[in-house]
A and B are shown apart, each in its own frame.
Chain A
């Protein structure tokens, strides 16, 4: 039988589709809006499962800090609804389509959770997994199930919301997500320090993160990367830029920015970005924009490394000694972004994973043949890999949902 594509219109219909796919032994690639189809391994599925029917905000109660939406709801739609109430997703999910050079730049809220994305505020506010409160979905057994609820305090049964986050659609096709939303800060300022080496920057960021000044963004852009920012104070620095974000009520922000400036007193240069420039700058950092556009770098490997924050500077340095490209640090050094130049052997996978001591490296963007050849996600130890396989089997025993998206066979 030739592969079939499906576009279910209801949860019941979706369950039927999956049950059919089980019987027909026809794996399916899950598609929300398709912005991240180039992220992860190429799925070993012939047919497509178009989930765009599950779209729209069905519940939003600002004073209860909660929203329910169909997973295919565009992230932009969610963000606009929240902005109208002066609220936001505190974990600042990146708009990944930009990184993928994808025609669809605006992803879906379901994709954000399935890939467990988070932006610069991660080290303070958590990731997507810290905000998903409940979901409904259809397992690879073709059964409708749910977990969690609409309240934050909930320990009733296993926390399957965590498991869904970062499972890349390999365990269930979600039909509804309920998540926590938070007030947006009244004022956003960013203190910039110019000319620090990556090592100095990591120290300064650690000190700021451990200070009482409640910093919500800590990133470091080497000179060549900073030069590509659209924010004048950053691109015009002609030096590396280390950024410290403070957010909150106006009097607090003014006080904390001054306190941070005082502690950074010895840095070669200091500047403060006020609200509009701050917002633009952190959006760029969130979407890794300074590593991407211009110079035709699309298609080249883009890596994301999660490491012990104080090791970030050294790790980035050591890798870039061996492969040519550019990098930047986020999360106080805990997240390294690497945009490598074309021609790195196997997308640089060997030196990257050899230099790392703990943590993990993920190939965020790469040509299809590269993603088929090298492990996109950090390979796991044998016992963890076996456990992963057993978990998959419990949700999707016949390997119907996005098989191979994360690891071959899972």
Chain B
């Protein structure tokens, strides 16, 4: 993975820059010692490591604004960071860059139950939002598995999802407003407590922009009332095809469950060995289907969904009778990553999305690839929306295995695109999938996306080296080839 070449001239001015930061930041909030900088050297994608030149830890929007302004003036690159759980290397630092950590932005600013909103600083963790409002019976719906650690600012930057986004949407569908700072140091407010922001949808653009367009310093999210009843079904299938078919039939029956998660045989066995959730071991796939709402609705839907499962060839259907049993059904799924970690020294988590009906084909081809690369793979799958998380098993201490795992991973993602899907469903492009972007997009597509970046960040100082395989100067992207002005298709009728 090639990162932008460090600018020696910038590195040479490091101590001047530190002094300039310390003019408005407490000395301890400008990190320069090697040992502390090392703590920021990678995010959740630990295969890549690079300590930053300097780390700054601002506490106020004003400080963020001054930091960015200074970096713009000095031509210094900036990498924003929330909790550092990105699985695509989005927060990977640069040797000649400033790492801007938002951990000190950890306050819940406003909770408004009548308007069903919470306004928080970006460093607040996803789960802390729910904790802040659950006393009144509310919650924040998007629930990435990393929710105990990941920050809401990171969620906005990655447009994170969770097991409940089938019914409740991704981050982008659950935020109403942000405050952000541009690389010029300008503070912009977009949206608020009203439902749609005016003008171009900058909120939509910022969500999922991976720290390349601006730094988010405040977020207003939608909070929802907790459903009265939640129930889960644990369903075993003799083949993956039947499990996939069942998902399609449930949706075709007009039912959108709160969540529908699938695990394949290797994942089931690893999870069961790890936490004894009581998963059936004689099946090829399990589905966990969660239904929520008023009790009358959940009762009614449980009956219909159980019937569909049986008709689809399920060999076992268990309905949670208690909250403890429901949590137990989920325990194995939620512990899937550590469970895999126990059966394999290392694993590499992929994140493609496919049209759901392609699942059997994709799993079959994946098994063939596993054989070719000589590595194992286990699958957990947000089945309702086609988001696949293959976990590739490898051993980093065996020479060549990491490279093989990466090759296997990119083969899987190419396959996702080939069958009509996409490279990443929720983890982001980052550095990890950057060079695969041309699998999905033409050069024209990618240049058009970069022109949007130019509108925000004309010098390309925010998180360079992520998302785009080739960096172009904005002046070059702005150039236009003007045709000679001939009438197009002169033989066609005009009006």
Interface locus among B274-282, B327-335, B367-375, B438-446 = B438-446
User: Which A residues lie within 8 Å of B172 (CB)?
Assistant: 130, 159, 162
Interface residue B420 (Cβ < 8 Å from any Cβ of A): yes
Contact B194–A212 (Cβ < 8 Å)? no
- Closest residue of A by beta carbon distance from B255: A183
**Would you call A6 and B114 a contact (CB within 8 A)?**
no
Q: Which segment of B11-19, B21-29, B401-409, B475-483 sits at the interface?
A: B475-483
B355 within 8 A of A: yes
Segment of B70-78, B122-130, B290-298 engaged in the interface with chain A: B290-298
| CB nearest neighbor in A for B386 | A151
With A306-B196, A335-B195, A362-B198 known as contacts, the answer to whether A159 contacts B159 (CB < 8 A) is: yes
Residues of A within 8 A of B487 (CB): 4, 20
Size category, B interface:
35 or more
B192 touching A16 by the CB < 8 A rule? no
The reply on B20 being an interface residue by CB < 8 A is: no
Contact, CB under 8 Å: A116 / B201: yes
> Do the beta carbons of B425 and A153 come within 8 Å of each other?
yes
Shortest C-beta distance, A333 to chain B (Å), equals 9
- Shortest C-beta distance, A190 to chain B (Å), equals 17
Contact string against B for A residues 222-262, beta-carbon threshold 8 Å, 1 for contact and 0 otherwise: 00000000000000000000000000111110111001000
For chain A residues 68-104, which have a beta carbon within 8 Å of chain B? 86
Verify B454–A394 contact, CB threshold 8 A.
yes
Interface segment, B37-45, B46-54, B204-212, B311-319?
A: B204-212
B residues less than 8 Å from A213 (CB atoms)? 294
Q: Is the CB of B138 within 8 A of A158?
A: no
Q: Flag if A145 contacts B115 (CB, 8 Å).
A: no
Cβ contact of B385, chosen from A144, A145, A152, A162, cutoff 8 A: A152
Chain A contacts for B158, CB-based, 8 A: 155
* Beta-carbon contacts under 8 Å, B427-483 to A: 427-429, 433, 437, 440-442, 444-446, 448-449, 451-456, 467, 477-478, 480, 482-483
Complex: how many Å from CA A95 to CA B444? Answer: 35
Q: Which residues of A contact B382 (CB under 8 A)?
A: 153
Q: Of the candidates A63, A126, A251, which one forms a contact with B169 in the assembled complex, judged by CB atoms under 8 Å apart?
A: A126
Known interface pairs A126-B169, A331-B195, A397-B480. Does A153 touch B451 (Cβ–Cβ under 8 Å)? no
> Which residues of A sit under 8 angstroms from B495, Cβ to Cβ?
5-7, 48, 50
In the complex, how many angstroms separate the beta carbon of A136 from the nearest chain B beta carbon?
10
Given B386, B449, B467, B488, which contacts A19 in the complex, CB threshold below 8 Å?
B488
Question: Are B198 and A62 touching (Cβ within 8 A)?
Answer: no
A151 to B420, CA, bound (A): 8
Complex CA gap A390/B301 in Å reads 50
The complex places the Cα of A384 from the Cα of B202 at a distance, in Å, of 10
Would you give the 0/1 interface string for A348-379, flagging 1 where the beta carbon is closer than 8 Å to chain B?
00000000001110100000000000000110
- B201/A165 in contact, CB under 8 A: yes
Q: Mark A139-150, 1 if CB is under 8 A from B, else 0.
A: 101111111011
Can you list, as one digit per residue, whether each of A392-405 has a CB less than 8 Å from chain B (1) or not (0)? 01110110000000
Contact assessment for B204 and A63 in the assembled complex, using a CB-CB cutoff below 8 Å: no
Contact between chains at A308 and B425 (CB < 8 Å): no
The reply to whether A154 and B478 contact each other, CB–CB distance below 8 Å, is no
Q: Contact: B489 with A16, CB < 8 Å?
A: yes
Within 8 A of B (CB), among A167-218: 167, 182-184, 186, 203, 206, 209-214
Q: Whole-angstrom distance between the alpha carbons of A377 and B158 in the complex? A: 30
Contacts of B203 in A (CB 8 A): 162
| A162 and B482 contact, CB distance less than 8 A | no
Kindly list chain A residues whose C-beta atoms are within 8 Å of the C-beta of B452.
158, 160, 163, 391, 394
| B467-A384 in contact (CB<8A) | no
Question: Quick check: is B217 within 8 A (CB to CB) of the other chain?
Answer: no
CB-CB under 8 A for A212 and B488, given A150-B355, A151-B355, A251-B296: no
Any chain A CB within 8 A of the CB of B365?
no
Q: Does A156 lie at the interface of the complex (its beta carbon under 8 Å from any beta carbon of B)?
A: yes
Whole-angstrom CA separation of A123 from B173 in the bound complex: 11
Distance from B86 Cβ to chain A, minimum over Cβ atoms (Å): 11
Cα-based distance from A123 to B202 in the complex (angstroms): 19
Q: Is the CB of B356 within 8 A of A64?
A: yes
Tell me if A156 and B422 are in contact (CB < 8 A).
yes
User: Is B448 touching A310 in the complex (CB atoms < 8 A)?
Assistant: no
In angstroms, Cα B5 to Cα A344, docked, is 62
Looking at the assembled complex, report how far the CB atom of B294 sits from the nearest CB atom of chain A, in whole angstroms: 5
Cα(A160)–Cα(B201), bound, Å: 9
State whether the Cβ of A334 lies closer than 8 Å to any Cβ in chain B.
yes
Q: Which of B144-152, B221-229, B262-270, B339-347 contacts A (4 or more CB under 8 A)?
A: B221-229
B194 adjacent to A307 (CB under 8 Å)? yes
Which of B56-64, B234-242, B246-254 is near enough to bind chain A? B246-254
What are the nearest 9 A-B pairs in CB distance?
A162-B204, A252-B297, A394-B451, A183-B254, A153-B425, A16-B488, A23-B485, A390-B455, A360-B198
Jot down 5 A-B pairs with beta carbons below 8 A, ordered by A. A23-B482, A163-B200, A335-B195, A359-B192, A395-B448
A interface with B by C-beta (< 8 Å): 4-7, 9, 13, 16-17, 19-20, 22-24, 48, 50, 61-66, 86, 116, 118, 122-123, 126-127, 129-130, 139, 141-147, 149-163, 165-167, 182-184, 186, 203, 206, 209-214, 248-252, 254-256, 259, 306-310, 331, 334-335, 358-360, 362, 377-378, 380-381, 383-384, 387-388, 390-391, 393-395, 397-398, 406
